[in-house]
């Protein structure tokens, strides 16, 4: 039997991902050692391998078949646009992709003004403004602390993740429009889906019992 390889996004989703796998008896003790610099972990009994990578790299590993399965946020799947099958909504990491800004920016959206939109997610923002809203805008890519952009005048609005809303509140911003709901998803390489279909389907049905 060959190894099934999992790419897991490190960061916010990692802890809950390891917890749901643990619930179905898929464990990897080695992975819990936070001080280790080791990158890949093997469960010899179940013939599974796990590695943690930056979220946006997860769909890349899965498209190329370097990982059979990936666990990553829906935002990353949409943004990266890789050829992977999304097979399961895991139900955690729930948040929303939203257009946010000061209340005063609402008319700019309503009247389809040619505004600047700052975001870590240029593809999602482009798709939303151009294909859903039919509004021509200038997209400015940032890498973090997106809420700063409207405050310092870099952009009129942002497209970003909202979870509790506290980052917006503390910076005098608000949700102006919702783009889509988000949560952690399981993605599978299309070839692995066919070649390892029994093992992968079994995994999906066992995960369904705990989510």
Ligand X SMILES: Nc1ncnc2c1ncn2[C@@H]1O[C@H](COP(=O)(O)OP(=O)(O)OP(=O)(O)O)[C@@H](O)[C@H]1O
Ligand Y SMILES: O=P(O)(O)OC[C@H]1O[C@H](OP(=O)(O)OP(=O)(O)O)[C@H](O)[C@@H]1O
Which residues of this protein are in contact with ligand X, per CB under 6 A?
9, 11-13, 55, 73, 75-76, 93, 95, 161, 163, 182
User: Nearest approach, Cβ of 106 to ligand X (angstroms)?
Assistant: 23
User: Nearest approach, Cβ of 29 to ligand X (angstroms)?
Assistant: 23
Q: Which is nearer to ligand X, 98 or 161 (CB)?
A: 161
Q: In what order do the strands lie in the sheet with 174-182?
A: 138-141, 116-119, 157-162, 95-101, 174-182
Hey, what's the torsion of the CAs at 67, 63, 184, 53, to 10 degrees? 50
Residue 188 binding target from ligand X, ligand Y, none, CB below 5 to 8 Å by type: none
Q: Which is nearer to ligand Y, 54 or 194 (CB)?
A: 54
User: Nearest approach, Cβ of 162 to ligand Y (angstroms)?
Assistant: 5
Q: Which of 88, 84, 67 minimizes the C-alpha distance to 20?
A: 88
Give residues with Cβ within 8 angstroms of 114, minimum separation 6.
136, 137, 138
User: Which residue is closest to ligand Y by CB?
Assistant: 144
User: Nearest approach, Cβ of 75 to ligand X (angstroms)?
Assistant: 5
Sign, CA torsion 53/59/64/69: positive
**Which chain residues interact with ligand Y by CB under 6 A?**
144-147, 160-167
């Amino acid at each position: 039997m060959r190894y099934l390889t999992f790419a897991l996004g490190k960061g916010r989703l990692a802890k809950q991902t390891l917890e749901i796998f643990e619930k179905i008896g898929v464990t990897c003790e080695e992975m819990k050692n936070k001080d280790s610099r080791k990158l890949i972990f093997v469960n010899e009994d179940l013939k599974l391998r796990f590695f943690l990578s930056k979220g946006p790299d997860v769909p890349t590993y899965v498209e190329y078949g370097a990982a059979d399965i990936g666990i990553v946020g829906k935002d990353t799947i949409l943004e990266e646009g890789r050829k992977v099958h999304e097979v399961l909504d895991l139900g955690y990491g729930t948040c929303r992709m939203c257009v946010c800004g000061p209340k005063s920016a609402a008319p700019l959206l309503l009247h389809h003004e040619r505004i600047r939109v700052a975001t870590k997610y240029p593809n999602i923002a482009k798709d939303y403004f151009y294909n859903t809203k039919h509004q021509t805008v200038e997209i400015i890519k940032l890498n973090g602390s997106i809420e700063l952009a409207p405050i310092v005048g870099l952009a009129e609005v942002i497209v970003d993740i909202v979870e509790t809303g506290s980052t917006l509140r503390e910076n005098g911003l608000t949700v102006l429009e919702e783009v889509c709901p988000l949560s952690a998803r399981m993605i599978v390489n299309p070839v692995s889906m066919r070649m390892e279909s029994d093992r992968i389907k079994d995994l999906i049905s066992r995960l369904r019992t705990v989510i």
